[in-house]
Amino acid sequence: QKEVEQDPGPLSVPEGAIVSLNCTYSNSAFQYFMWYRQYSRKGPELLMYTYSSGNKEDGRFTAQVDKSSKYISLFIRDSQPSDSATYLCAMSLSYSGAGSYQLTFGKGTKLSVIP
Amino acid sequence: GAVVSQHPSWVICKSGTSVKIECRSLDFQATTMFWYRQFPKQSLMLMATSNEGSKATYEQGVEKDKFLINHASLTLSTLTVTSAHPEDSSFYICSAPTILPFYGYTFGSGTRLTVV
């Protein structure tokens, strides 16, 4: 079993739809959870990060973490064509101490928002 | 703030030559830099972790003599692909952990390497 599982898609939705992106993971020691957006041939950019379980909202984006189920989600409301990109989930054990900086990534889900 | 500048953005080289990729942290000190490789439609795969002033740590299966990493200062880390071959063609990205302005990891813009 891979440490982080993410459906690669592709996912195609009409403009204005609500998008749900998900990842599951196997290592219960992960504490920090992030979502990155990567446009074609560009480096990933951080969208959201959360610590432990709970929800976090930022504009049209909501990140959810359910540690009991080892499941994280990213919701995009009122999706726009400019949201078309690959979305990568990532997680790490902690943020202090050598070796804890490493991120484990999902494969990424390619999203297309059709006008 | 928290920008990692990566150069070149793309490079084409002949088989057998070496290519150097630079990552600079522009407004913060990066004591650690991660180097990733990404093949088409694949996720980011960690190749190595460099720490300023010490030897890099390579992931299993990554040839340290082929992928030379130098982290000589708090703002510069370099990856040199030596004796490049077509199978080394990939997208290489660096990343540094940051605290400000956000708690996360800042990525460079990536380098697309094509070996012909």
Residue B56, SS3 per DSSP? coil
Residue B87 has pLDDT above 70, yes or no: yes
- pLDDT for residue B79 is more than 60: yes
Q: Give per-residue burial for B66-89: e unless 16+ CB within 10 Å, then b.
A: ebbbebeeebbbbbebeebeeebb
Q: Name which of B46, B104, B112 is nearest A46 (Cβ-Cβ).
A: B104
- Which of chain B's residues have a Cβ under 8 Å away from the Cβ of A102? 34, 46, 49
- pLDDT of A66 over the 90 cut: yes
Distance of CA A110 to the CA centre of its chain: 11
Rounded mean pLDDT of A16-42?
92
Interchain proximity A105–B44, CB inside 8 Å: yes
The pLDDT, as a whole number, for residue A98 is 45
- Nearest chain A CA: its distance from B57 CA (Å): 10
Contact A102/B at CB under 8 A: yes
Residue A70's alpha-carbon distances to A15, A18, A63, A76, in angstroms, are 30, 22, 14, 20
pLDDT on residue B27:
84
What pLDDT is recorded for position A41?
81
A108 near A6, Cβ under 8 Å? yes
CA separation for the pair B42, A49 (Å, rounded): 22
DSSP 8-class letter at B59? P
Q: Is the pLDDT of residue B32 over 80?
A: yes
B88: three-class secondary structure by DSSP = helix
Record: contact A107-B105, CB cut-off 8 A: no
Per-residue pLDDT averaged across B32-59, rounded?
Answer: 88
Nearest by CB to residue A103, choosing from B6, B103, B105, is B105
* Inter-chain residue contact A41 with B34, CB threshold 8 Å: no
| Nearest residue of chain A to residue B96 (CA atoms) | A101
* Residue B68 pLDDT > 90: yes
Which chain A residues have a beta carbon less than 8 Å from that of B46? 102-103
The mean of the pLDDT values for chain B is: 90
A40 inside 8 A of chain B by CB: no
- What confidence tier does B94 reach under pLDDT thresholds 50, 70, 90? very high
Contact B104 A43 (CB under 8 A): no
* Averaged pLDDT for residues B15-21: 97
**Is residue A99 scored above 50 in pLDDT?**
no
